[in-house]
Structure 1
Amino acid sequence: MAKEVLLSFGLTTIVGLTMAVGSLLSFLVNKTNKRFLSLSLSFSAGIMIYVSFMSILPEGIELMENNLGEHGKFVALGGFFGGMLITAFMEKVIHLFGGHSHHHDHSHHHGCEEHLSKLGLMSAVAIAIHNLPEGLALFTTGLKDISVAIPIAVAIVLHNIPLGIAISVPVYYSTGSKAKSFLYSLFVGLCQPLGAIAGYLFLSKFFSDTLFGILFSIIAGIMIFVSLDELLPSSQKYEDHHISVYGAIAGMLVMAIAMSIFHHH
């Protein structure tokens, strides 16, 4: 088990650090390569939607049925929709404290340094809160099956990089400090391994197939909600909505091929 813990935690940490890579890229790349941003967001949404419905949720249902009989399916589905409700509640809490995490692209407000600074901070807070359960989701999946965790890690990296840019750009334009904008993105990214550690410390004593079944179901719900509420709307905001649809389909296709290679049901 120790080997699985180290491997999965290492993967989660590397994925978290890619948000800082996004910050560095924001100093090099054209501020908004909108097509790239749109495709990367929708591509990762396609991966997350496909893997949730085709692998994570079915595995959660199977684990619950093996341990609780045919009623286990309903417990798993309760966890799935519960995961969505938890994420929706977190969104509401974030919005109550000001700022909407979806409105990242406000670079046209060049004269409003104070507005940009608040936007960068609120984006950072919102994304940090999202990263805690996302880190736990990746880590837990890796503990159970690293072959499923790796494609999920790729999906998270694909949206971590543009999210790193989303945090970094407003902070950089409002403060003029590359160091500050980099540190914001780095801290937010590190919330993923932090979520993994916190979840492991609280849950490791209770690890069982039943707990994994519930966690997998909740994780699938979280990933579907984040894809539908965050990734796809953001992607469509940056480009023609067809680009977003094509990106999502491409993500699903890549995930289908990857899962066929891994022979994972």
Structure 2
Amino acid sequence: MEEITEYFERIDPVLAALLATLFTWGLTALGAALVFFFKKMNRKIFDGMLGFTGGVMVAASFWSLLAPGIEMSPGEGFEKTIPPLIGFGTGALFLFGLDKVLPHLHVNFKMSEKEGIKTPWHKSILLTLAITLHNIPEGLAVGVLFGAAGAGLEGATIGGAVALAIGIGLQNFPEGFAVAMPLRGQGMSRLKSFNFGQLSAIVEPMAAVVGAWAVLTFQPILPYALSFAAGAMIFVVVEEVVPESQRGNYTDIASLGFILGFMVMMTLDVGLA
């Protein structure tokens, strides 16, 4: 692990962000590749994976994003909370707006429950767009943290950025699985199901590059950018991940998965920062 961290310290932060999110995209594809071996998904395992995803995202939002954002903010006392509050609220509102506009359908939801503007798009596209919503703030978070570390700003480290990328990658595995398996169950070919599953994470490298470049170019926005990513991720967890994990008969499994995901991400962030 030290060798990986040292490698990322030697290269350009924007390139580092790109490589890290190509890794997270790869794990999404790996999860989607399960469609070549299975036709149906075990709901108990799936709900546990969704819970794990939520735990990782909540832990990453605090340990990797919000806490460093507060630390980097100028001023003292309540004044120090102003940039994180603005960034966090703006990030949540940004995802709220996308959720209302972008047509999408959550996993295990009926077509009558699709969200966003009305469209005749096929269920496969709507499922892919739902997971894509998750991945926008995740890619942005990785990019912003690599940019902050590359700029040498206090509270941001390459180790912490690597830890975040690993955590995001781990929870991307079930996301690829979550798109591909329902499509396969509906009769779509294995190859098409895989392609839709892995495409859901294509936005992560793009968002990461934008985030890293923006922070390096406009360093004063960093506390806002970190908190923006945190707010967006928390909105996704509350609006989508947790409700999806609680729709079946395995709510306890989902809750334990959430706790495990939080513990894993916290350990990675503290251990590698």
Could you say which residue in structure 2 is the equivalent of 1:206?
Answer: 217
Separation in structure 1 between the aligned mates of residue 192 and residue 185 of structure 2, nearest angstrom: 11
Deviations 1:218-255 (A, max 9, x none): 11111211122222222222442222221122222233
Q: State the match for 1:121 in structure 2.
A: 125
1:102 and 2:115 correspond: no
Q: 2: CA distance between counterparts of 1:157 and 1:16?
A: 7
2:172 is the alignment partner of 1:160:
yes
Aligned length: 247
1:142 equivalenced with 2:146 (yes/no)? yes
Amino acid aligned to 1:155: G
**Could you report, residue by residue, the CA deviation over 1:113-157 in whole angstroms, capped at 9, with x for unpaired residues?**
xxxx82211111232344233212112223323322333333323
The residue correspondences of 1:69-84 to structure 2 (distance < 5 A) are: 71-84=79-92
TM-score under structure 2 normalisation?
A: 0.78
Partners of 1:161 and 1:74 in 2: CA distance: 35
| Higher-helix-fraction structure | 1
Tell me: CA distance 1:175–1:162, structure 2 relative to 1, closer, same or farther (3 Å): same
- Consecutive unaligned residues of structure 1, counting only runs of 5 or more, are 107-116
- 8 Å contact kept, 1:47–1:152: no
The percent of aligned pairs where both chains have the same amino acid is 30
Aligned-partner Cα distance in 1 for 2:221–2:172: 28
Distance change (3 Å), C-alpha of 1:261 and 1:84: same
Aligned-partner Cα distance in 2 for 1:233–1:11 = 29
Q: What is the alpha-carbon distance in structure 1 between the residues aligned to residue 264 and residue 134 of structure 2?
A: 25
TM-score (norm 1): 0.80
Relative to structure 1, is the Cα distance of residues 2 and 55 closer, same or farther in structure 2, using a 3 angstrom cutoff? closer
Write the mapping of 1:172-191 to structure 2, written as runs, cut at 5 A: 172-173=184-185, 176-191=188-203
Distance 1:41 1:147, change over 3 A: farther
Distance 2:143 2:261 in 1: 21
Q: How far apart are 1:192 and its partner, in Å?
A: 1.0
Aligned with residue 263 of structure 2, among 235, 248, 253: 253
What CA distance in whole angstroms lies between the structure 1 residues aligned with 2:198 and 2:263?
31
Identify unmatched segments of 5+ residues in structure 2. Answer: 1-9, 111-120, 150-156
Q: In the alignment, which residue of structure 1 is the partner of 2:7?
A: none
Aligned equivalent of 1:24: 33
Corresponding letter in the other structure for 2:199: F
Q: Which amino acid aligns with 2:246?
A: Q
- CA-to-aligned-CA distance 1:57-94 (integer Å, 9 cap, x gap): 1211121226x996242122121122111111111112
SS in 2 for 1:237: coil
Q: CA RMSD in A?
A: 2.8
* Change beyond 3 A, Cα 1:22–1:257: closer
CA distance 1:27–1:127, shift in 2 (3 Å): same
Measured in 1, the distance between the counterparts of 2:140 and 2:57 equals 15
Counterpart position of 1:236 = 246
